[in-house]
């Protein structure tokens, strides 16, 4: 579709609405949910076809953008794990790599290190090379990985610096990377990066046993809702492995469950009809950063993604 067509101008409204607070690239006739967080690092929304073409980045225009501005010098990384959001590498001249991460969640340490090493190798190969990162919205998962790459390439001095830069360049209100666990993973990467500069280095993630888990908050026992705890770890391919679930009417859970690597604690509260489907909050952590003994993980609000 020609970029100057009346149809394209009409579609600008729904596309802008879907973009929400994200900056759009509006130069040289383009109007894309896309931004440069560094001259060599692009973060963008999913390059869509079919019905989604109407309100997301049209794939044909993303192709045209990359060809006009970075012909032969770009590499695309796709962090979507949703069904039907992978596509043939031939769409972008064979330069596509998938690192699937579930929405609002985090990658394994092996995955984040592999991505950063692969993207850095492409950027180091030629000063004209760029990378284009996307998930579905081009905000959380892609933003988290962009922050890690800023650190890997030395474009940011710290995790805070990387996140601040991403929030400044990708969105209007500086609320780009908002999921607490995704910000935690950027800090994790910064710490791991400071411990070694060897590409492909493997970090030993120790095994722990969770014996008891206690929630401390301001709710009285009379007001405490019935809760369900679900515990997951990540398999090497990034898919979830369920370890444990338990319902309780108190603020304590008896687990006695071994955990290793990336661990998700997911809490649900009981609805009025007795269903346990209302998510209370969730917490991600990695056992590499745990010490034996009592561990406290704080949160400041209910219904918050951690």
Residue 36 placed within a domain: yes
In this structure, the answer to whether residues 147 and 275 fall within a common structural domain is no
C-alpha–C-alpha distance, residues 161 and 169, integer Å: 12
CATH number at residue 230: 2.60.40
What is each CA distance from 173 to 24, 35, 170, 306, in whole angstroms? 13, 14, 9, 21
Query: Is 305 a residue whose pLDDT tops 50?
Result: no
Per-residue model confidence as pLDDT tens digits over 8-25:
555 555 545 555 688 889
In this structure, the answer to whether residues 100 and 220 fall within a common structural domain is no
Dmax over CA atoms of the chain, in Å, equals 64
In this structure, the answer to whether residues 169 and 46 fall within a common structural domain is yes
Query: Is 170 a residue whose pLDDT tops 90?
Result: yes
- Whether 80 is a known active-site residue: answer no
Q: In percent, how much of the chain has pLDDT > 70? A: 80
What is each CA distance from 197 to 27, 33, 113, 153, in whole angstroms? 38, 34, 11, 11
Q: Which helix (H) or strand (E) holds 180?
A: helix 180-195
Residue 190 placed within a domain: yes
In this structure, the answer to whether residues 212 and 191 fall within a common structural domain is no
Considering Cα of 23, then 27, then 33, then 37, what sign does the dihedral take?
Answer: negative
In this structure, the answer to whether residues 190 and 212 fall within a common structural domain is no
Residue 296 placed within a domain: no
Which of 280, 225, 282 lies closest to 251, judged by CA?
A: 225
CATH number at residue 33: 3.90.190.10
Side-chain-side CA neighbours of 176 within 13 Å: the count stands at 29
C-alpha–C-alpha distance, residues 248 and 264, integer Å: 18
Tally of domains within the chain: 2
Q: Residues 80, 116, 135, 262: which is the catalytic one?
A: 135
Expressed as residue numbers, the domain containing 183 is 6-195
pTM score: 0.87
Query: Is 82 a residue whose pLDDT tops 70?
Result: yes
In this structure, the answer to whether residues 187 and 230 fall within a common structural domain is no
Band (151; pLDDT cuts 50, 70, 90): very high
Residue 76 placed within a domain: yes
Q: Which helix (H) or strand (E) holds 192?
A: helix 180-195
Q: What is the token pair recorded at 79?
A: 């962090």
Least confident of 92-101, 148-157, 208-217: 208-217
Q: Which helix (H) or strand (E) holds 211?
A: strand 207-214
In this structure, the answer to whether residues 64 and 149 fall within a common structural domain is yes
In this structure, the answer to whether residues 156 and 241 fall within a common structural domain is no
In this structure, the answer to whether residues 186 and 223 fall within a common structural domain is no
In this structure, the answer to whether residues 12 and 138 fall within a common structural domain is yes
C-alpha–C-alpha distance, residues 145 and 116, integer Å: 8
Which of 170, 195, 220 lies at the terminal end of a domain, its last residue?
195
In this structure, the answer to whether residues 36 and 94 fall within a common structural domain is yes
In this structure, the answer to whether residues 191 and 216 fall within a common structural domain is no
- Give the other-Cβ count within 10 Å of 284's Cβ: 24
């Amino acid at each position: 579709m020609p970029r100057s067509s009346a149809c394209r101008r009409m579609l600008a409204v729904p596309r802008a609405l879907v973009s929400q607070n994200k900056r759009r690239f509006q130069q040289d006739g383009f109007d894309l949910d896309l931004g440069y967080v560094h001259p060599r690092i692009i973060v963008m929304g999913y390059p869509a076809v079919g019905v989604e073409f109407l309100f997301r980045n049209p794939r044909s225009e993303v192709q045209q953008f990359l060809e006009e501005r970075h012909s032969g010098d770009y590499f695309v990384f796709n962090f979507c794990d949703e069904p039907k959001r992978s596509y043939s590498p031939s769409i972008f001249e064979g330069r596509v790599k998938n690192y699937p991460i579930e929405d609002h969640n985090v990658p394994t340490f092996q995955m984040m290190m592999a991505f950063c090493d692969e993207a850095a190798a492409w950027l180091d190969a030629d000063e004209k090379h760029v990378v284009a990162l996307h998930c579905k919205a081009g905000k959380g998962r892609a933003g988290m990985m962009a922050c890690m790459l800023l650190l890997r390439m030395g474009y940011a001095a710290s995790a805070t610096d990387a996140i601040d830069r991403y929030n400044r360049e990708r969105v209007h209100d500086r609320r780009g990377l908002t999921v607490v666990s995704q910000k935690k993973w950027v800090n994790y990467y910064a710490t791991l990066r400071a411990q070694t500069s060897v590409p492909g280095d493997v970090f030993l993630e120790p095994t722990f046993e969770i014996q008891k888990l206690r929630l401390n908050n301001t709710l009285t026992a009379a007001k405490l809702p019935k809760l369900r705890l679900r515990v997951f770890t990540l398999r090497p391919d990034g898919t979830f492995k369920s370890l444990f679930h338990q319902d309780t009417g108190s603020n304590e859970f008896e687990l006695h469950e071994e955990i290793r690597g990336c661990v998700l604690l997911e809490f649900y509260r009981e609805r009025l009809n007795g269903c346990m489907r209302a998510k209370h909050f969730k917490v991600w952590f990695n056992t590499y950063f745990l010490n034996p003994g009592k561990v406290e993980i704080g949160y400041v609000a209910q219904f918050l993604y951690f």
